[in-house]
Chain A
Amino acid sequence: MNALLLLTVANIRSFIRDRAALFWTLAFPLIFVFLFGAIFSGGSTARTMGFGDLDGSDSSGRLREAFAALPNLELVEGSEAELTERMRDGELSAVIIVPAGYAETVAAGGAPAQVTVYTDPSQSAADGATRQIVGFVLAQVNQAASGRPPAVAPSFQSVQTNDLNFISYLVPSILGMSLMQLGVFAAIPLVADREKLILKRLHATPLRRWQLVGSNVLMRLLIAIVQTIIIVGVGSAVFGVQVAGNWLLIGLLVLLGSLAFIALGYVIASFATSEESANGMTSVVQFPLMFLSGTFFPIDGMPDALQTVARAMPLTYLGDALRQVMVDGTPFSPLWVCFAVLAAWLVVCFGVAARFFRWQ
């Protein structure tokens, strides 16, 4: 027991003195949090539209004011050619053109006056919003022209659902990703020690192999706890993510998830012949896990074939469970299924590694 603890301390010392390892395990996930946090919470939802008034009448002026009065909408004026050019460049989300003779057509009261609206249907969200805005403004104008008071008036409330949700989604996801990386890389030091014959030297002492593996796993679990504290701490302190979950449940998930991925790391190391090949194989395993497990975007938005792949990935279930427990995220699978899948991965990987890991 004493040997196990002292070896764990020695491992932690070696880890802390290895600047690169320290950076990749502790700073790298934080970079992800800051990067995505900055991208998705800094931008405003204000949209910019072009408004081309070719009529120059009081009527067209009232139309412009009706648009300008909308919250979160900035109007840019100019000629039709100029505005559509700027829209192609991506500066404007839509362009509204009021044709010459607009005031006369409205005053005549016969056929409705036409305004031209340029939108980009390929940007479905922006396109839909533009149609709603234009429809809303024109309904106001039509109703004013009819001289009767409105029967129903909408009241707009702003809720910034998208932004806050994304960061809340991201923090547990990045925690899951970090635990995955911590785990799959766990056995590489052991492969390196095997290659440098450190394992052989240790084997000539009374130290048992379970103590050797145990100290390595213990160290990883300690780092996992530190990672959890750092990522959740920064997520809530800097980006205001509310962690609502049960801390005991979070702790259990962090431990089970870490163990499952450490076992996966040992499976990789079992089939690696050198430190280099272990590194390569680990990268091959970690990238699909990173990008196909719903870490950066929900998997129900992915094509069916990829969803099937995602359902086979252990990280999908760890991320899903962490989101459910930490930020009350929408469940993709029931929590018990997540626990069961992670436990199954742990047992199977442990069995395979125990059978195939080579000590010499």
Chain B
Amino acid sequence: MTASRRGDADPVIRVRELRKTYGALVAVDGVSFEVRPGEVFGLLGPNGAGKTTTVEVLEGLRQPDSGEVTVLGIDAIRHADDLRARIGVSLQTAALYPKLTVAEVLDLFRAFYGHGRATSELIELMDLGEKRATRTQDLSGGQRQRLSVALALVNDPELVFLDEPTTGMDPAARRALWDVVLGLKAEGRSVLLTTHYMEEAEVLCDRIAIMDHGHILESGTVEELVSRRFHERAVRFDAVEGLTDERMAAIPGVTSVKHEDGVVMLYTRDVPATIGAVLASTDELGHEPANLAVRRATLEDVFLDLTGRALRD
């Protein structure tokens, strides 16, 4: 990686009070965060949360209404042209020249930068070898996504933006892409990725910012996010008729009761006592709790606690 004049402690991305509206819609409403060199930073949130708008401002593709954005020490709002050669970008929905082959598109994009990684190397990295001579219009959704990521790496960038990189991929391709992202990190590159997959964020991201309705609700490492909210563990089971929230909340050790898609979640400091009380209560009602399980709180719980709804699309 090119060692710049910036000190190691300087963030590769610094966003301050970013705001962007489209008419009456406030897409991004006062967002601030920093990404440190060499880390994988995740913007996590449902569709429409403002993730893509935020990322496109950082890439120099959109002018915000207000706020400050510094990327690799460059003002991304006023001097975006100076930035483009040093970043790699994979957009969420962009099509590519439909009549050109995979290899031709990679060659073409490298020409835009005047330097970069060899086409064969990128094709191997993204496992597109069999599709080398295939026109992009004939690729599957997942293959197109892989080509999009390959194009983001064509200029050997120090900072890579990946907007929903695994959408449309099957589980095997998704895991392969995760390896590529972890490989970028191992090479010392910084990555900003958006996703609405909890598991993806947990596996890949050093730090996460949870976004909803244009706001960052909370940010930190997965550990921080979970332990900040949940000292307790979750006891979950399928909802039982007649077992009221009041009754469950009264169980010793239980701090909160949540519902999600017909599943009850009891957050508790005393797991054995809670399970005992649940079994006693349901037995009294003539039922047995189905799919009873205990788990540690996850990002999913954090999101549910922050927004009152599950992050599923």
* A contacts, CB < 8 Å to B: 2-3, 6-7, 10, 13-14, 17-18, 196-198, 200-207, 360
Contact B112 A207 (CB under 8 A): yes
Residues of A within 8 A of B186 (CB): none
Binary contact track B70-99/A, C-beta < 8 Å → 1, others 0: 000000000001001101010101111111
Beyond A204-B89, A205-B112, whether A13 also contacts B95 by CB under 8 A is no
| Interface residue from A3, A206, A360 paired with B84 (Cβ < 8 Å) | A206
Residues of B within 8 A of A2 (CB): 111, 114
User: How many residues does chain B have at the interface if contact means C-beta atoms less than 8 Å apart?
Assistant: 28
B60 interfacial by beta-carbon distance below 8 Å: yes
Contact A197 B94 (CB under 8 A): yes
* B contacts, CB < 8 Å to A: 59-61, 81, 84-85, 87, 89, 91, 93-100, 104, 107-109, 111-114, 135, 151, 155
Contact B96 A198 (CB under 8 A): yes
Beyond A3-B111, A6-B111, A7-B108, whether A204 also contacts B91 by CB under 8 A is yes
Q: What's the nearest-Cβ distance from chain B to residue A210, in Å? A: 13
Residues of B within 8 A of A10 (CB): 97, 100, 104, 108
Contact A204 B60 (CB under 8 A): yes
Bound Cα distance A299, B283 (Å): 97
Bound Cα distance A212, B157 (Å): 23
Residue in B closest to A202 when the chains form the complex, CB atoms: B112
Q: What's the nearest-Cβ distance from chain A to residue B145, in Å? A: 13
11 contacts between A and B (CB under 8 A): A3-B114, A7-B111, A10-B100, A10-B108, A14-B100, A17-B99, A197-B95, A201-B91, A204-B84, A204-B89, A206-B81
Bound Cα distance A87, B86 (Å): 83
Q: What's the nearest-Cβ distance from chain A to residue B104, in Å? A: 7
Additional A-B contact list (13), CB under 8 Å, known A7-B108, A202-B112: A3-B111, A3-B114, A10-B100, A10-B104, A13-B104, A14-B99, A197-B95, A201-B94, A204-B59, A204-B89, A205-B109, A206-B84, A206-B85
Residue in A closest to B148 when the chains form the complex, CB atoms: A201
Residue in B closest to A203 when the chains form the complex, CB atoms: B61
Bound Cα distance A204, B80 (Å): 9
Contact A198 B95 (CB under 8 A): yes
Q: What's the nearest-Cβ distance from chain A to residue B106, in Å? A: 12
Beyond A10-B108, A198-B96, whether A205 also contacts B84 by CB under 8 A is yes
Residues of A within 8 A of B155 (CB): 205
Residues of B within 8 A of A13 (CB): 99-100, 104
Residues of A within 8 A of B114 (CB): 2-3, 206
Beyond A3-B114, A6-B111, A10-B104, whether A200 also contacts B99 by CB under 8 A is no
Q: What's the nearest-Cβ distance from chain A to residue B1, in Å? A: 19
Bound Cα distance A17, B101 (Å): 11
